[in-house]
Structure 1
């Protein structure tokens, strides 16, 4: 009794241990927590269409403007301007713009003096002064001076031409930027709209995933019978399958043994009559041979007597009784072992249906809880302020329409800018062409040996081109300097007050200054407790951070409480814990069946199949032909003809009996031998097979008797844990997606950077390059005028001859 209790405890604890191990290993692998979720939609970005390089003169422009305006960004001055003008503010503005004012003064002086100097120069030449008198004194260094003036004029003209080329390129870039600005601004706004529209779509994706998750769990709960029943089946399968399979196998062994016995009896029924007839014939022949050998005239016949004694089948083919084995087999067949295994399988297959019936009410209650949970999760996205994105998107659409309305005017301005830049470039180019023609014709037509009054027409024409270039220079220089002055004030201040602080982020810090924009506070607009800065928002967007982090939305929206599903999970737990899943136990093999199996094994092991096989082998080894050969040899030694004939006749009878034995008895013996060997092979394994069946059935029966309730509870818990894990995985994904992925504001920062690139790197840079190139030309026009006037007198034909001493 104590041994039995000890054995029961060991079986119970081993079953519990195996149960928990199986639940840990198999439960972890069977729960589909890692579901495939769709990637968040990201807005498509329209690329920029401005492909030209507008920064070819940027280093020079920046260096010049850095020298002109070396003061830091006037943050305090701009804040003071927003509060109102006063004398002190104006004074600070003038002090800050000192470099620009100096440049403006120089420009005004240039604009005033150049036409006056040109007028005085013209009047002076008309009076014969300032090189106006057509007489040139020939000196010893006249050729050296001419070459020096020629080289200086050439270099200055090249410099003016370089500035003229830069004028043309920058003018083209400026007009190109103006022409494409509406399209570029529209694309920038379209990118921002796409970004704003993608945020509700991303939130909708999270909502859709919540619906899919809830529906998945609901479907799993509706299919609790098959799913949970499958888990319970898996918990029992490791113990029940080996027992049922071994029971089926022993049933097949019993059937095989029964078939073998039937085949054995059938073969014996055919063999025994033929063997008896053969034995009778052999006994008669043996008696005649014995009589012949005992005749007195038989020579050497006594020597054959031992071989004659062997000619007998008496005592052969006497098999042991199989009634006990046959009875044991019949009883085992009547016990229907295979049927018992099928009943176990039917019990195994009925588990899902029983689980479905037992959990119907719990499933209905859990489905109601899931509907409440679904409403709770969907309310998360409804509470988000998504209307602001639609409102902002509509405002951007209105801005696009306004830009489209101004596009014709901008295109017209671009065309005017292109035409004006082309005309100014051509006028500067005209001066350059006059200088180059003067240089070319002058040197081509000049003969140093000729007298100044006898110079060629080509040389004289070169001098005239020089003076024409001087005249054009006086006419256009002051007007172009006015253009330089205006563009310098606009473009220079645009760079120093907008572009440079925009690039180094000082512009955003200015906007963040309290009171800079009246009645604007980003933190108050978003109901935030922290002081949110535009600079910080822009920096976060440059790093493509989500809106949750950028705008500190955790301060106004408690996402964790909204996604807290613990209340519903506990209720679902309670619903299923209240369900009593009762799975009726079965007995795989009754004690009577086990007893019959033991009896079957005992009967099979008691059969002496080796003796039967030995008898068959002995009978099969009988060879009457050898005795017949001996009789023929003995007959040849006889002198008595009668004995001789009798021996030959008896030898013939033995051969006939051997032939009959070979044709009728030996095939049956071979068949019988095969049947007996098969039975022997099966019988040798019956004992171990029965022991294996009883051991596995006993182990499975212990699990069914003592562990099935624990398996049901554990698998039920694992099933509910799996469903709730699906929810927890979704909650984690939703929380992570909303806080780390939704609304990554990199496109917004890219739109700001692209606007800065359009305005500063293309428009302002091109505009600054244009006025700097034009101012470059204007400054070099002064030495060009001086050296052109000086050089012209060395090529023009003089009216008066000056004697050389």
Structure 2
């Protein structure tokens, strides 16, 4: 059950997605489909947060802001953009005053670095000469504070080594970061290029969709409606006319039905009347025969003369005449019925229903008539629209081909970048080796110092004389001197590696990256109204839009793109390219309105009732059926059939009376036989003649009533219908042209409304949906990160780490050389002596006074 529900849900979502992505036309109102989704943008982008040591970068950034606190020279940048920056106008003092906050710190530090590079080798040389030529070496005295000084120096050296090790560790960590940056650089750049290409392609696809597929759909709706003018114009006109014409046509149809119905009833009356006349003739002959037979029977017996016997001579006589002897004779009007039947037969043969249907069809065919009579006008409009469609499609094709040619070049760029990336990765290994060598050398110094310090502390005896120190202690002192010597040897080289990258990376960070990353460079130059010489308003709008009053700002464009607005709105391109003007179809089809005004149609063939139909109606209204004397009919049919006194319409009553008469008088023999025969005559006459004639008479009465009901309003209905037909035809002739004009106006609004809807739709899509530029903002931000984070952080971290280590190595030189005399073994010389007072030596927790020693001096390498 759950699986079925999931399948049903999936189908529903699929159908909904298909419906929602399809244009729909709801009686002239188009619901537009969504823009195509396009290609997905690459998610491979530079991670600006992957710098491994934020504290290090914050320190670098803080240091650079400290030495260069001033803002970039935005005025000079503005002058340079405006083409009015002239270097000859500036004196040295002007440069100093203008740029002191920006470059003074960099200049001073660079100068210090150069001085260091020049002076430090001289200092190192002097130091070596002094130590190697026995020219200096310091005193042999050890005062009471020497032990404390030794502790201070040890702590200072350990702290210096710790900072140097921290710098080396930071460098190795950043070295991996730099290697990763080099490895991903080509991919990051190509990812940005791909995103730009995809943005252009997606925007191109969206524009092609709008100007291509959607325009074609709108114009197809126009063509469909143009080919459906019959339904859109003719049907409403016909429906409007039908309010007046419909009842008239219905009346004609009713009269056509009435003719057939009246004729059918006349036929029934005529047939019934003829059958009744035939029965009457048989009855008349039979009743005369019965009277004769009864007279003969009565003459042979004496019963007929007796009191109470029926008066056969008077009772058994026909009281009606159902034969057509002519109206003038005052008898049954069979002639009038025959005449009316013949007349209606002719009217029926005229087939008024068909004639009325033909007239009605001309009215029904108003849409088709309109379509046929306006085909040439519609074809002209269609050709005009197809020409407009072809022009637009050609423009789209030209734009697409130009964009394709530009995008083809990006493949070459990507190929070059891939090659560059591969080359950079190939050579980056040498950078890794060089960095490993440089920082390995730097790492060697604190290791030697720490090793020397360890040996010195482990081998040093507090009660041993300087001349009696052990080899381990002496080795520790030598290692301290060795570490200092390495600094003297490579210090200049390390300062070069600090100064040169610093003087490049520092200004780039402060004068380029910081203002670009914060956006201040735009706000203070091109985005600032009146900041660019020669432009009173906004520079960018003056450059691109030729109107400096428009507030077009790069920072505003970046903010809009960050919010993923459409590029058209973000860049205020409406001031440069008015989409509505390009989609103003009336400029391409200036005579479109007049073409619609020429649509009129020819409706001269509309005749809802031809003359033949009118003539048939008039003949029907004047037919003899309306003059039939139904009173005479009814009077004749209302008469009793016989003159029988017992029951004129039922001779079986008289037959029964004769039978009773026989019983009452007791007749026997021939009299009884004669009377019984007489009763049989009457019974036979009743059952075989009178009863059928009565039934047929009653049927004729019913048929006559129905015929009379049909013919009562014939004349009035015919006259009324003819009047309605005439009024309806006049209404058609008088109003159809104005109705056509009114509906054509609405029809024109509907057809051209597709174009208006399309223009509004395109305007809305271009301003809100087409080319949402968040990908461009991502590319811009990613490019800055690649330059100012990936490359610049690695570059600045190089000089910062080397400079950091060099600074603490210089401190370590002092600590290491001063500590060396506490660990190295002193040597004797007998050439000369100085009285050295070894006092206040700590021995076994106390201080003792050493005696003077002739011919003793301390090795000159003990002091700086």
Pick from 735, 752, 761: which aligns with 2:789? 761
CA contact (8 A) 1:376 1:562 kept: no
What residue number does 2:438 align with?
Answer: 424
Measured at CA, do residues 107 and 37 of structure 1 come closer, stay the same or move farther in structure 2, by a change above 3 Å?
same
SS of equivalent to 2:33: coil
Pick from 210, 213, 225: which aligns with 1:220? 225
Residues 59-92 of structure 1: per-residue CA shift (max 9 Å, x gap)? 2222211221223312455657964567547666
Measured at CA, do residues 568 and 726 of structure 1 come closer, stay the same or move farther in structure 2, by a change above 3 Å?
farther
The Cα shift of 1:218 comes to 1.0
Measured at CA, do residues 222 and 121 of structure 1 come closer, stay the same or move farther in structure 2, by a change above 3 Å?
same
The Cα shift of 1:102 comes to 1.0
SS of equivalent to 1:50: coil
Residue pairs, 1:151-170, within 5 angstroms: 151-170=155-174
TM-score normalized by structure 1? 0.59
Taking the aligned partners of 2:577 and 2:758, their CA distance within structure 1 comes to: 23
Taking the aligned partners of 1:348 and 1:439, their CA distance within structure 2 comes to: 120
What residue number does 1:73 align with?
Answer: 72
Unpaired runs of at least 5, structure 1: 1-27, 249-254, 256-330, 594-698
CA contact (8 A) 2:540 2:553 kept: no
Taking the aligned partners of 1:778 and 1:224, their CA distance within structure 2 comes to: 91
The Cα shift of 1:506 comes to 5.0
Pick from 498, 504, 519: which aligns with 1:484? 498
Pick from 15, 19, 33: which aligns with 1:37? 33
CA contact (8 A) 2:131 2:137 kept: yes
What residue number does 2:267 align with?
Answer: none
Pick from 572, 575, 581: which aligns with 2:598? 575
1:437 aligns with 2:451: yes
The Cα shift of 1:760 comes to 1.0
Residues 499-529 of structure 1: per-residue CA shift (max 9 Å, x gap)? 123234454565798699xxxx977886x43
Taking the aligned partners of 2:137 and 2:188, their CA distance within structure 1 comes to: 55
What residue number does 1:272 align with?
Answer: none
Residues 385-432 of structure 1: per-residue CA shift (max 9 Å, x gap)? 888756765665555455455445533553333222222222222223
SS of equivalent to 2:41: coil
Q: Which moved more, 1:103-112 or 1:412-421?
A: 412-421
Taking the aligned partners of 2:607 and 2:182, their CA distance within structure 1 comes to: 88
CA contact (8 A) 1:171 1:767 kept: no
CA contact (8 A) 1:46 1:187 kept: yes
Residues 185-237 of structure 1: per-residue CA shift (max 9 Å, x gap)? 33333333443444544433233122332122112322334555666688799
1:493 aligns with 2:516: no
Residues 286-315 of structure 1: per-residue CA shift (max 9 Å, x gap)? xxxxxxxxxxxxxxxxxxxxxxxxxxxxxx
Measured at CA, do residues 700 and 412 of structure 1 come closer, stay the same or move farther in structure 2, by a change above 3 Å?
farther
Measured at CA, do residues 462 and 576 of structure 1 come closer, stay the same or move farther in structure 2, by a change above 3 Å?
farther
Unpaired runs of at least 5, structure 2: 1-23, 254-260, 262-343, 621-723, 829-840, 848-864
TM-score normalized by structure 2? 0.56
Taking the aligned partners of 1:132 and 1:32, their CA distance within structure 2 comes to: 110
CA contact (8 A) 1:541 1:550 kept: no
- Compare CA radii of gyration and give the structure with the larger one: 2
Taking the aligned partners of 2:34 and 2:116, their CA distance within structure 1 comes to: 69
1:539 aligns with 2:592: no
Pick from 776, 789, 797: which aligns with 2:804? 776
Measured at CA, do residues 398 and 376 of structure 1 come closer, stay the same or move farther in structure 2, by a change above 3 Å?
closer
Measured at CA, do residues 561 and 772 of structure 1 come closer, stay the same or move farther in structure 2, by a change above 3 Å?
closer
Pick from 692, 698, 723: which aligns with 2:751? 723
Q: Which moved more, 1:38-47 or 1:99-108?
A: 38-47
The Cα shift of 1:354 comes to 4.6
Taking the aligned partners of 2:758 and 2:145, their CA distance within structure 1 comes to: 101
What residue number does 1:262 align with?
Answer: none
CA contact (8 A) 2:38 2:202 kept: yes
Instruction: Choose between structure 1 and 2 for higher RCO, CA contacts under 8 A separated by at least 6 residues.
Output: 1
Pick from 357, 368, 380: which aligns with 2:383? 368
1:190 aligns with 2:194: yes
The Cα shift of 1:116 comes to 3.4
CA contact (8 A) 2:222 2:754 kept: yes
What residue number does 1:356 align with?
Answer: 371
CA contact (8 A) 2:73 2:99 kept: no
Taking the aligned partners of 2:805 and 2:552, their CA distance within structure 1 comes to: 41
The Cα shift of 1:490 comes to 0.5
SS of equivalent to 2:155: helix
The Cα shift of 1:31 comes to 1.8
CA RMSD for the aligned pairs?
A: 5.8
Taking the aligned partners of 1:169 and 1:368, their CA distance within structure 2 comes to: 73
Q: Which moved more, 1:118-127 or 1:101-110?
A: 118-127
What residue number does 2:628 align with?
Answer: none
Q: Which moved more, 1:392-401 or 1:181-190?
A: 392-401
The Cα shift of 1:775 comes to 1.0
CA contact (8 A) 2:583 2:759 kept: no
The Cα shift of 1:777 comes to 1.2
1:550 aligns with 2:571: yes
CA contact (8 A) 1:369 1:572 kept: no
The Cα shift of 1:158 comes to 1.8
Q: How many residues align?
A: 600
CA contact (8 A) 2:196 2:776 kept: yes
SS of equivalent to 1:72: coil
Residues 242-291 of structure 1: per-residue CA shift (max 9 Å, x gap)? 9999xx9xxxxxx9xxxxxxxxxxxxxxxxxxxxxxxxxxxxxxxxxxxx
Taking the aligned partners of 1:420 and 1:700, their CA distance within structure 2 comes to: 111
What residue number does 1:116 align with?
Answer: 122
The Cα shift of 1:491 comes to 0.3
Taking the aligned partners of 2:219 and 2:247, their CA distance within structure 1 comes to: 39
What residue number does 2:780 align with?
Answer: 752
1:60 aligns with 2:59: yes
The Cα shift of 1:129 comes to 5.1
CA contact (8 A) 1:459 1:795 kept: yes
What residue number does 2:305 align with?
Answer: none
CA contact (8 A) 1:460 1:795 kept: yes
CA contact (8 A) 1:195 1:747 kept: yes
CA contact (8 A) 1:229 1:351 kept: yes
The Cα shift of 1:717 comes to 4.5
CA contact (8 A) 1:225 1:356 kept: yes
Q: Which moved more, 1:474-483 or 1:495-504?
A: 495-504
Residue pairs, 1:621-640, within 5 angstroms: none
Residues 85-110 of structure 1: per-residue CA shift (max 9 Å, x gap)? 67547666885532212101222233
